[in-house]
Amino acid sequence: MGKESILVRGNKTLSGEVKISGAKNSALKLMAASLLGQGQSTIQNVPDISDIAIMSDVLRRLGASVQRIDHSLLIDTSAVDSFSTPYELVSRMRASISVLGPLIGRFGQAQVAMPGGCQIGARKIDMHLVGLESLGVLFEVDHGTLIATTPDGLRGAHVVLEFPSVGATENMLMAAVVAEGSTVIENAAREPEIVDLCNMLCDMGARISGAGTANIEVEGVPLSSLHPCVHETIGDRIEAGTFLAGGALTGGPVTVQGIDPDYLRMAIMKLKAMGCVVSCGEDYITVSRNGDLTSTDIQTLPHPGFPTDLQAQFMLLASLADGISVITENVFENRFMFASELMRMGADITLEDHHAIVRGAGALQGAPVSSTDLRAGAALVLAGIVAEGYTTVYDIQHIDRGYEDYVGKLRSLGADVTRTDAPAQV
Ligand code: EPZ
């Protein structure tokens, strides 16, 4: 259990406006993509969170210089002379595997420690490997390290992904951009973060079409023709969805600013189905609720389906809604640990395989709870805000991985939340 915790005083409401940070799940890959351009790239709107700090260390270990100026990262990859990422860094953040594709693109080889699983699942990378093998990459595993070589160089291919894996699509893109000939990635991931990565790669000189659709086409170009760029990270749709869930929970109105509403169409649809009023502008979304929350069923799916990263937050809404909601987790094999913690606060949830049957309870009671992953942790804090009494959320290092100043932003909306490094005496 981590040292720090968040103490939450309940029976509060959230209202006001909060500025959304740049997307963690895009910025990490944009940083990896900078390896393909010799020189200094600037990535703007990068959230100040621990995962970004770890990825900065990964790039520095490869020989890059990484400097943060406010929310911009200046990354100079001129001196990158290594293609090896050791276990002690990959074990701190499995997303380090995102350097695999660009290292292969830059050096024709890579040595990256195999990432482990995590609380929500095995997090395999078999689709990454199969996809890259189609481009001519040979893999060996040597004592936990992935050894990638391209004896005949990278060659374009028509690849069909078994599942629209975000990570596999990204790693393949960052190798295919410098492969000989053209590549088609069929059944590609369609997340907004994929589009953001493709936009940056094109800004660097790559030739990609179909980003955001299930069929992405890449025309390989020489590595030497790729150059650094300045790129602004898109807003974090999951952070935005988390604060919108907080507004829906307590009635709002809560406005999230700096996010394209198109990224959250399914979540907005579900907020409306649960009795909320949602209005959108070009770069903001406002949620409010007057009547009771009503139950709804949710299936998590690859984008544009309902995002698995909002599953915990909406299970919380369902736990206080009238009626029964069935939530089905189709993306990860073990992402219901949040339910166990929420039940300790009085939620009425039955887990059956990858379904959670959630019966609306009248109210939740504050309790000591523990974050199992960053989204569950963020949702537990929201649960504490609406619960009766005090809640202490432990293991908040998970939250710090993906939410910049989560406590400060919640306080600006009226929450009574405090970070504390000692067990709360309440
Ligand atoms: C990205 O993970 C995100 N992480 C996840 O966000 C997000 O939940 C996920 O995409 C789905 O949207 C980052 O971008 C850093 P996948 P990723 O490859 O790339 C299985 C958060 O909370 N799979 O689409 O790992 C895999 O085990 C995190 O911010 C294979 O079996 O997601 C999972 O069950 C959590 N073999 C499913 O597919 C593979 O080779 C989806 O994985 C690859 C994936």
Give per-residue pLDDT as tens, 125-173: 999 999 999 999 999 999 999 999 999 999 999 999 999 999 999 999 9
**CA-to-CA distance for 264 and 419, rounded, in angstroms?**
29
For the chain, how long is the longest CA-to-CA vector? 65
SS3 category, 177? coil
Q: If you average pLDDT over every residue of the chain, what do you get?
A: 96
What is residue 1's predicted lDDT score, i.e. its pLDDT?
A: 58
The CB of 402 under 6 Å from ligand 1? The reply is yes
Of all protein residues, whose CA lies closest to atom 24 belonging to ligand 1? 165
Residue 118's pLDDT is 76
Mean pLDDT value of segment 331-338: 93
Residue 340 pLDDT more than 60? Answer: yes
Q: Which of the two residues, 389 and 119, has the higher pLDDT score?
A: 389
Task: Please report the pLDDT score of residue 250 as a whole number.
Answer: 95
Question: Which atom of ligand 1 has the smallest separation from the CA of 130?
Answer: 40
More confident residue, 372 or 284: 284
Segment 78-91 mean pLDDT: 92
Residue 128 Cβ contacting ligand 1 at under 6 Å: yes
Please state, in angstroms and rounded to a whole number, the distance separating the CA atoms of residues 99 and 55: 9
Is it true that the peptide bond before 151 is cis, omega within 30 degrees of 0?
Answer: no
425 pLDDT band (50/70/90 cuts)?
Answer: low
CA 229 / ligand 1 centre spacing (Å): 27
CB of 409 sitting under 6 A from ligand 1? no
Q: CA geometry: angle at 173 spanning 168 and 174, to 5°?
A: 105
Q: Which long-range contacts (CB under 8 A, 24 or more apart) does 53-58 make?
A: 54/89, 54/92, 54/93, 54/96, 55/28, 55/31, 55/93, 55/95, 55/96, 55/98, 56/31, 57/89, 58/85, 58/89, 58/93, 58/96, 58/99
| pLDDT for 362 | 82
Active-site residue set: 118
Task: Give pLDDT, residue 2.
Answer: 60
pLDDT in tens, 369-392: 999 999 999 999 999 999 999 999
Question: For residue 76, what pLDDT band results from cuts at 50, 70 and 90?
Answer: very high
Quick one: pLDDT at residue 119? 77
Q: In the chain, what percentage of residues exceed pLDDT 90?
A: 92
Nearest alpha carbon to residue 48 among 19, 83, 91, 5: 19
- Of the residues 159, 236, 331, which should be mutated to test ligand 1's pocket, given the most ligand atoms within 8 Å of the CB? 331
pLDDT of residue 120: 80
> Is the C-beta atom of 25 inside 6 A of ligand 1?
yes
| Nearest CA residue ID for atom 33, ligand 1 | 332
10 lines ligand 1 (CB under 6 A): no
Tokens of 251: 């009635």
The pLDDT-based confidence of 121 (bands split at 50, 70, 90) is confident
Closest protein CA for atom 4 of ligand 1: 25
> Does residue 163 have its Cβ closer than 6 Å to ligand 1?
yes
Nearest CA to ligand 1 atom 10: 166
Pocket of ligand 1, candidates 165, 237, 397: which has the most ligand atoms within 8 Å of its Cβ, to mutate? 165
Percent of the chain at pLDDT > 70 equals: 98
Which residue is closest in CA terms to ligand 1's atom 25? 167
How sure is the predictor about 3, in pLDDT bands with cuts at 50, 70 and 90? confident
Instruction: Tally Cβ neighbours within 10 Å of residue 401.
Output: 21
Closest atom of ligand 1 relative to the 332 alpha carbon: 34
Residue 80: pLDDT above 70?
yes
Quick one: average pLDDT of 93-109? Answer: 96
Between 362 and 37, the more confident residue is: 37
Instruction: Check residue 346 and give left, alpha or beta (phi > 0: left; psi -120 to 50: alpha).
Output: left
> From the CB of 407, is ligand 1 less than 6 Å away?
no
Span 74-88, average pLDDT: 95
By the 8 A CB rule, do 30 and 43 touch? yes
pTM: 0.97
Task: Output the pLDDT for position 397.
Answer: 93
The closest residue, in CA terms, to atom 26 on ligand 1 is: 123
Query: For ligand 1, is residue 123 a contact (CB within 6 Å)?
Result: yes
Q: What is the mean pLDDT of residues 12-37?
A: 98
